[in-house]
Amino acid sequence: MSSEVSSALRVLKEYSGIKTKIPASETEKIELQKSLLSVIHEADYCNVGICASSYDEGFSALQNYLKAFDYVLDISRHEVDGDEPIYIKFNGEKLSHTVSDYSGEYRGVLITIFSDVNDSILGTYGHLPLSLFD
């Protein structure tokens, strides 16, 4: 494993846990973005889980994360009540997503990394900030 990937994993682990940790500065935000993108580019694919307070917040986060990950696809928006908490799961292998009601308290983004060649990056990271790539 390269030192860049090792460093990126260290940063991601600092931001992983039940409570979403918000970067304290723009410099820390950029470091987290670069770390996540470094690991994403080593992966075969990833799944993205988003726990959001509203439909708009959730889909905005999903679109911003997928754009940052270089996914070029149109995410169709489901007809759901815009003011209710939702969970969105994006499957990076199938390039599909599901939306469901969410009654939990957590807010943020979970990224699950899959790789057939690099076991060191496998895992789930987050809850990352919904606005990381705004």
Give the model's confidence band at 47: pLDDT under 50 very low, under 70 low, under 90 confident, else very high: very high
Residue 68 lies in a domain: yes
Residue 121 lies in a domain: yes
| 0.75 exceeded by pTM | yes
Residue 109 lies in a domain: yes
How would DSSP label each residue in 31-76? HHHHHHHHHHHHSSEEEEEEEESSHHHHHHHHHHHHHHTT-----P
* Average pLDDT score over residue span 91-114: 95
Residue 51 lies in a domain: yes
Count of domains forming the chain: 1
Tokens of 111: 């990224």
Enclosing domain of residue 43: 3-128
pLDDT at 21 over 90: yes
Q: In this structure, how many other beta carbons lie within 10 angstroms of the beta carbon of residue 50?
A: 27
Closest CA to 37 of 58, 73, 66: 66
The per-residue pLDDT of the chain, averaged, comes to: 94
Give the model's confidence band at 75: pLDDT under 50 very low, under 70 low, under 90 confident, else very high: confident
The rounded percent of the chain whose pLDDT value lies above 90 is 87
Q: pLDDT value at position 79?
A: 65
pLDDT at 88 over 90: yes
Residue 134 lies in a domain: no
Q: pLDDT value at position 41?
A: 97
Residue 92 lies in a domain: yes
CATH number at residue 48: 3.30.360.10
Residue 45 lies in a domain: yes
* Average pLDDT score over residue span 73-91: 82
Residue 133 lies in a domain: no
pLDDT at 112 over 70: yes
Taking only the tens place, the pLDDT of each residue in 57-66 is 999 999 999 9
Q: pLDDT value at position 81?
A: 61
Q: Is 31 exposed, middle or buried (0-12, 13-18, 19+ CB in 10 A)?
A: middle
* Average pLDDT score over residue span 99-126: 96
Q: pLDDT value at position 18?
A: 86
CA distance 2 to 51: 32
